[in-house]
């Protein structure tokens, strides 16, 4: 739009200066409900997210989609997550959405939830709030591996298969995704790579080109250890390792999301009432979609037009040629730092699978008394990732910063830190395959 045309922009829409900015839709792409092991009715989960200011919520129940109605009681709920007490709290807070109830032959009260279309009809409001359908896939690998993928914008459920190892499970989940979503506009995301204890091999993210999204932060399924084992990699290092390896072979970039992986909704009632809570509303994505529809959310995510956050909000992320610029609109703490991470073209990307140790030994090293029982006796390797992958190229204090790629940079991405909150932009990527060919 030329300057002349800008004069005709209605002040209602904020004028040219605001138009330049993107409209960000805030969403949670990972939430469980009573359909699997979450503690809320689907409509309840949606209303709670809506009422703390989210624009969209995606349901991602374990190997299930919301394609059915069900009458749940404390006895018949498969995972024993339903409680009358919680149901009454919901009904009292949202009387207009009170689920139907009936008395079962054994005298217990059953509460109904409906299929996705019913939830969508009850809560969707054009441009204001949207529920999306998704599914969290998992196979039966061994109870000692927790390997999960979220399929975003699907109405089809994965069927669990017995798989011999980690790689086989990811290959199986992806082929299931390809088969099930052939007629859908869906995305495949690797969930919680650190859960329970470094279960997702870094090579899944660096070497499997079809993996385009992963959770850099999953509020529920973080490792149970507050600090990292000596020499172990963190989420930023994992991402940079994957980005550098992908850039060097001309593969597509990997994008990062943040999710709540919501199960327990009790505290969200506090958030709705304006009180601070430590659960829910923790990690999210903000998507610069053209409009609030599933297909535009997916399209923007495919373009990398979104960021992950645990509280920092961005007014704008722009890439112009080789320049990546960030403008922060909401910082949690007093000061705000913008760090640009990248990897140099001549980086050494040596990878070592690490030494195999008992998880209990890692736990002892970290002062954790009782590792999760299922993992007792389990051995795990924590790969050593190269120090050259992911270095800070520039650090700026303040709410605005930009970085221009230098000839020896493979990519650049920004991480914004303010108090305890962070945000991550997607990488600015250049096609480096040719330049790097020997």
Q: How far is it, in rounded angstroms, from Cα 219 to Cα 222?
A: 6
- The least distance separating Zn ion from the CB of residue 138, rounded to whole angstroms, comes to 7
Q: Is 76 helix (H, G, I), strand (E, B) or coil?
A: coil
Give the position of tokens 């990878």: 351
Residue where the block lists tokens 């809560």: 123
Look at residue 217 and give its three-state secondary structure: strand
Measured distance CA(309)–CA(283) in Å, rounded: 6
> Whose Cβ is closer to Zn ion: residue 148's or residue 158's?
148
Nearer Cβ to Zn ion, position 22 or 32?
A: 32
Q: Which residues lie near Zn ion (CB under 5 A)?
A: 136, 148, 191, 261
Closest CB to Zn ion among 136 and 313? 136
Q: Which two tokens stand for residue 61?
A: 């129940």
Q: Residue 301 corresponds to which tokens in the numbers above?
A: 């995510």
State how far the Cα of 286 lies from the Cα of 307, in Å rounded to an integer: 6
**Rounded to the nearest 5°, which phi and psi values hold at 27?**
-150, 160
Rg, Å, the chain Cα set: 22
End-to-end alpha carbon distance in the chain:
44
**Closest to 17 measured CA to CA, from 27, 25, 6, 26:** 6
- CB nearer to Zn ion: pick between 25 and 195: 195
CB of 31 to Zn ion, least distance (A): 8
- Measured from the CB atom, is 32 or 245 closer to Zn ion? 32
Distance separating alpha carbons of residues 325 and 320, to the nearest angstrom: 8
CB of 136 vs Zn ion, minimal distance in Å: 5
Q: How far is the CA of 231 from the CAs of 272, 361, 418, in angstroms? A: 41, 14, 25
| 24 or 195: CB nearest Zn ion | 195
Closer by beta carbon to Zn ion, 136 or else 139: 136
Query: In the complex, what is the shortest distance from the CB of residue 400 to Zn ion, in angstroms, rounded to a whole number?
Result: 36
List, in sequence order, every beta strand (DSSP E) within 22-176: 25-28, 56-62, 70-72, 101-103, 109-113, 130-138, 148-152
Reading the block at residue 24, the tokens are 């960000």
In angstroms, the CA 150 to CA 136 distance is 4
Closest distance of CB 249 from Zn ion, Å = 29
CB closer to Zn ion out of 47 and 173: 173
**Shortest Cβ distance from residue 301 to Zn ion (Å)?**
18
The answer to whether 201 touches 166, Cβ cutoff 8 Å, is yes
Nearer to Zn ion, 157 or 328 (CB): 157
CB of 192 to Zn ion, least distance (A): 6
Alpha-carbon 242 to chain mean position: 17
Judged by CB, which is closer to Zn ion: 199, or 313? 199
Taking the complex as a whole, how short is the minimal distance between the CB of residue 189 and Zn ion, in angstroms?
11
Host H or E run for residue 50 = helix 42-51
Minimum CB separation of residue 147 from Zn ion in Å reads: 9
What's the closest the beta carbon of residue 372 comes to Zn ion, in angstroms? 14
Instruction: Report the SS3 class of residue 106.
Output: coil
Task: Return the number of the residue (148 or 380) whose C-beta is nearest Zn ion.
Answer: 148
State which residue has the least CB distance to Zn ion. Answer: 148
Eight-state DSSP code of residue 373: G
Q: How far is the CB of 134 from Zn ion (least distance, A)?
A: 10
């Amino acid at each position: 739009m030329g300057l002349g045309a800008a004069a005709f922009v209605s002040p209602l829409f904020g004028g040219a200066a605001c138009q330049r900015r993107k409209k960000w839709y805030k969403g949670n792409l990972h939430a469980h409900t009573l359909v699997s092991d979450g503690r809320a009715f689907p409509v309840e989960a949606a209303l709670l997210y809506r009422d703390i200011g989210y624009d969209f919520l995606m349901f991602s129940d374990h190997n299930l989609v919301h394609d059915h109605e069900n009458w749940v009681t404390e006895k018949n709920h498969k995972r024993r997550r339903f409680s009358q007490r919680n149901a009454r709290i919901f009904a009292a807070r949202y009387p207009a959405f009170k689920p139907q109830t009936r008395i079962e032959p054994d005298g217990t009260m059953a509460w109904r939830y409906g299929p996705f279309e019913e939830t969508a009809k009850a809560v969707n409001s054009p441009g204001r709030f949207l529920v999306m359908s998704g599914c969290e896939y998992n196979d039966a690998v061994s109870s000692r591996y927790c390997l999960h993928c979220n399929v975003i914008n699907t109405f089809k459920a994965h069927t669990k298969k017995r798989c011999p190892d980690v790689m086989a499970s990811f290959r199986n989940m992806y082929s299931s995704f390809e088969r099930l979503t052939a007629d859908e506009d869906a995305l495949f995301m690797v969930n919680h790579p650190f859960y329970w204890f470094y279960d997702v091999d870094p090579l899944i993210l660096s070497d499997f080109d079809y993996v385009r999204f992963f959770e850099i932060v999953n509020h529920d399924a973080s490792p149970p250890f507050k600090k990292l084992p000596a020499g172990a990699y963190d989420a930023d290092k994992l991402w940079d390792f994957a980005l550098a390896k992908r850039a060097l072979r001309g593969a597509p970039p990997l994008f990062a999301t943040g999710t709540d992986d919501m199960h327990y909704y009790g505290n969200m009632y506090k958030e709705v009432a304006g009180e601070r809570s430590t659960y829910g509303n923790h990690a999210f994505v903000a998507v610069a979609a053209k409009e609030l529809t599933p297909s535009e959310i997916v399209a923007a995510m495919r373009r990398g037009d979104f960021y992950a956050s645990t509280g920092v909000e961005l007014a704008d992320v722009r890439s112009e040629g080789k320049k990546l610029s960030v403008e922060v609109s909401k910082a949690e703490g007093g000061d705000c730092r913008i760090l640009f991470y990248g990897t140099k073209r001549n980086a050494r990307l040596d990878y070592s699978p690490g030494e195999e140790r008992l998880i209990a030994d890692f736990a002892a090293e970290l002062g954790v008394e009782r590792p999760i029982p299922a993992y007792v006796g389990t051995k795990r390797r924590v790969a050593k990732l190269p120090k050259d992958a992911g270095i800070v190229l520039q650090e700026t204090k303040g709410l605005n910063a930009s970085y221009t790629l230098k000839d020896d940079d493979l990519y650049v991405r920004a991480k914004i830190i303010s108090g305890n909150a962070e945000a991550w932009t997607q990488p600015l990527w250049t096609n480096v395959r040719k330049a790097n060919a020997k």
